[in-house]
Chain A
Amino acid sequence: MNNNQPRFPECFKKDSKPHKFCPGCGHPLVLKALGQVIDEMGISEKTVFMVDIGCSLLAWDFFDIPTTQTHHGRTIPTAVGFKKVKKDKIVIAYVGDGGAYAIGLQHTITSCLRNDPITTIVVNNTVYAMTGGQLAPTTTDNEITTTTPEGKKEFATLKGPEMLKEIANKEAYLARGSSFKPLVLKQYLKKAIETQIKGNFSLVEAVSACPTNWKTNAQETIERVNELEKIFTQGEIKND
């Protein structure tokens, strides 16, 4: 066997591939990075994966690990409930920016405040993608969405990890990477899971791409992600 071939992570569920995401979507890149981290850490037997409503739900059978889809914004409390009674498990809540920062924001904030030992991964594409590209809390200045046809102007762009930093436990871990820089993202995901294992809250946001709703071609998509990586500061927002 040629070891140089790119290989699927072992924890991928083979019979659910090809995946259900649109061509060019950032989700499969984030999920691949996560799958590699799960393999490298050897934690697939201990991991429980929970996905939100929105595009993240398309990962409900992505991994060959126990997975449940929940309701919109309710993945974090479900993960917290599971972890509360099974402390030896590694529980990962996989959500979009709408789930984490709008409909489920109170859960994101409170879970961080309580320092719940779970890991939240937020895939941020600046829009509500599953429903057709509406305004999200992460929509950037002047960005055109289906509910801001003249460009978003009224309010600021929500920066999740920066906001949470103010209330996070000193042992908590907050970082933001990009689906287009998977090797860096992997390091953040690994640290986030290690933080959970030590009993603390962690959240990693990944800037992502949605060419379907952005209506961008390949080149434009890459350019837009590059732009977003500047707007949404890349790096470890909290790691002390």
Chain B
Amino acid sequence: MKDFLMGNQILAYAALNAGAKAMFGYPITPSCEILETWAVLCSKDKNLSLLQTEDEMAAGFGTIGSCLAGVPAFTATAGPGNVLMQDAFSMAEALRIPTVAMIMQRGGLSTSTVIYSQEEVRLTCFGGNGEGFRVVYSTSNLQELYDYTLKAFKVAWKYRWPTFILADGYQAKMKGEIEIGKKNGDLNNKAILKKGVNLRNCYNLEEEIGEVIVNYENDYQKNRAEIEEAETYKLEDAKIALLAHGIVGSAAKIAVDKLREKGLKIGLFRPITLRPFPVIEAAKTLDKVEKIFVIESALGQLSSLFKDELYDLSIPLVEINKPGVGFTPSEIVGIINEQ
């Protein structure tokens, strides 16, 4: 049976069925219904807990506290809240704490709009003073909000990297029919802060922290093949590839069908994990195309991830950027037709 739900409600139900037991959050548009729906779930099940914290730092560190105790926990935020939470996420990276955070991108720079953008890609992937040892899922529709939240908790507790669901105000606020029955099995969550454990993220010597970072990087590179995910659509014979993520990826997918109707050999590469970027799949599926159009609601945040990871790909690349503004499929069709 399918339910008719708003994106933010879906995320709260997904967290529950993923195995989360606690949420720490501070209200910010457009993510508030995640907190509100979790509050309703807590009122029905006394094994769940919620703390509406005094600010986003407390929400991030409260989530860390619960994870240290071995209890899966999450938070949700957007925009300036995401900026403040980087304090906690950088510690989660440093101590390998499996926090899960749902980021509903609103406009950026600064306070900006409460509506939509893709301006939090860099922040969510690399917001700490470190190397971005994180897993970031960019969802493109309501069903993916649910499915990737389930996956996010599994991946967070399996590999112990802070994990993110990166969506946006459109996905947060839209309503639709989705399947929410599926549940995670045991997350294998154990107490991290336990007898015999003393943790720190402060070091005396350059070499000490250097060694920590190198070890983390080795782990991250070892894990990435199992974590990386992408959707490829009609790329088999494509001469042109669209590269888009999140809800822009959904619009681009419709555009691909419309452009194919006119005989254009076009396909879509949609990275689902922005960190780690799906390099294996990208190298495999994009090596025969003659041109790539990167389409995003930001000024090159996705394209810089792509170029950074696949610098030896010598295919011409055109960037189509509308910072802070959404795309419709027909708009993408029009842009490609003009080129």
B195 close to chain A: CB less than 8 A: yes
Q: Mark B90-122, 1 if CB is under 8 A from A, else 0.
A: 110001000000000000000000000000000
Contact with B along A73-100 (1 / 0, CB 8 A): 1100111111111100100000000000
Quick one: given A68-B68, A81-B63, A81-B65, are A110 and B201 in contact (CB under 8 Å)?
A: no
Tell me which residues across on chain B come within 8 A of A48, comparing CB atoms. 193
Q: Among B22, B54, B58, B202, which residue has its beta carbon within 8 angstroms of that of A69?
A: B202
Q: Which of A71, A83, A85, A106 has the most CB of B within 10 A?
A: A85
> Is the beta-carbon distance between A107 and B66 smaller than 8 angstroms?
no
Would you mind naming 11 contact pairs between A and B with Cβ atoms under 8 Å apart? A48-B193, A66-B198, A68-B199, A71-B88, A74-B88, A80-B58, A82-B69, A83-B65, A85-B65, A85-B71, A86-B71
A74's nearest neighbour on chain B, judged by CB, is B61
Do A84 and B62 have beta carbons less than 8 Å apart?
Answer: yes
Residue A123 CB within 8 A of the other chain? no
Residues of chain B lying within 8 A (CB to CB) of residue A13: 198
The 4 closest A-B pairs by CB, nearest first: A81-B65, A81-B62, A77-B58, A82-B65
Say what secondary structure dominates the interface of chain B.
Answer: mixed
Taking a contact as CB atoms closer than 8 A, the residue among A45, A67, A74, A85 that contacts B69 in the complex is: A85
- A180: chain B residues at CB < 8 Å are none
**When the two chains form the complex, which single residue of B21, B53, B199 contacts A85, counting CB atoms closer than 8 Å?**
B21
Q: Is the CB of A107 within 8 A of B58?
A: yes
- Across-interface contacts of A74 in B (CB, < 8 A): 57-58, 61, 87-88, 91
Query: Of B57, B68, B88, B198, which is within 8 A of A60 by CB?
Result: B198
Q: Contacts A71-B61, A82-B193: A77 and B53 contacting too (C-beta < 8 A)?
A: yes
- Distance in Å: Cβ of A6 to nearest Cβ of chain B: 24
A38: interface (CB < 8 Å)? no
Cβ contact within 8 Å between B57 and A77: yes
> B48: shortest Cβ distance to chain A, in Å?
10
**Given A60-B200, A77-B57, is A85 in contact with B66 using a C-beta cutoff of 8 Å?**
yes
- Taking a contact as CB atoms under 8 Å apart, the answer to whether A78 and B55 are in contact is no
Q: Does A189 contact B (CB under 8 A)?
A: no
Residues of chain B from 239 to 292 with CB closer than 8 A to chain A in the complex: none
Count how many pairs of residues, one from A and one from B, have CB atoms less than 8 Å apart in the complex.
115
User: B51 within 8 Å of A by Cβ?
Assistant: yes
Contact in complex: B198, A67 (CB < 8 Å): yes
Other-chain contact of B54, A57, A82, A110 (Cβ < 8 Å): A110
What interface size band does chain B fall in? 35 or more
Asked if A86 and B57 make an inter-chain contact with CB atoms under 8 angstroms apart, the answer reads: no
CB contact under 8 A between A78 and B199, given known A68-B95, A86-B71, A106-B55: no
B150 close to A (CB within 8 Å): no
Tell whether A70 is near chain B: CB-to-CB under 8 Å: yes
Asked if B205 is at the interface of the complex by the 8 Å CB criterion, the answer is no
Q: A71-B61, A85-B49 known; 4 other A-B pairs, CB under 8 Å?
A: A80-B62, A82-B65, A82-B68, A110-B53
Q: Which residue of A lies closest to B72 (CB)?
A: A85
Given contacts A68-B95, A71-B88, contact A78 B202 (CB under 8 A): no
Question: What is the minimal beta-carbon distance from A148 to any residue of chain B, in angstroms?
Answer: 27
Contact between B200 and A61, CB atoms less than 8 A apart: yes
Q: Which residues of A contact B167 (CB under 8 A)?
A: none
Given A84-B49, A85-B21, A66 and B61 contact (CB-CB distance below 8 Å): no
A53 on the interface (CB 8 Å rule)?
yes
Q: Does B73 contact A (CB under 8 A)?
A: yes
Q: For the complex formed, measure the closest distance between the CB of A87 and the CB atoms of chain B, giving whole angstroms.
A: 10
B190 CB to nearest A CB, Å: 13
The answer to whether residues A81 and B73 also contact, given A74-B61, A110-B54 and a CB cut-off of 8 A, is yes
Q: Is the CB of B68 within 8 A of A78?
A: yes
Residues of A within 8 A of B54 (CB): 106-107, 109-110
Q: Give, as a whole number of angstroms, the nearest-CB distance from B205 to chain A.
A: 14
Q: Mark B54-90, 1 if CB is under 8 A from A, else 0.
A: 1101111111111011010100000000000001101
The answer to the question of B194 belonging to the interface, with a C-beta cut-off of 8 Å to chain A, is yes
Distance of B204 from chain A, by nearest CB (Å): 9
A108-148: which residues lie under 8 A (CB-CB) from chain B?
109-110
Verify A66–B202 contact, CB threshold 8 A: no
Chain B minimum-CB-distance residue to A60 = B200
Residues of A within 8 A of B95 (CB): 68
A82 near B87: Cβ-Cβ < 8 Å: no
**By the criterion CB–CB under 8 Å, are A81 and B24 in contact?**
yes
- Residue from A61, A65, A67, A84 having most chain B Cβ neighbours under 10 A: A84
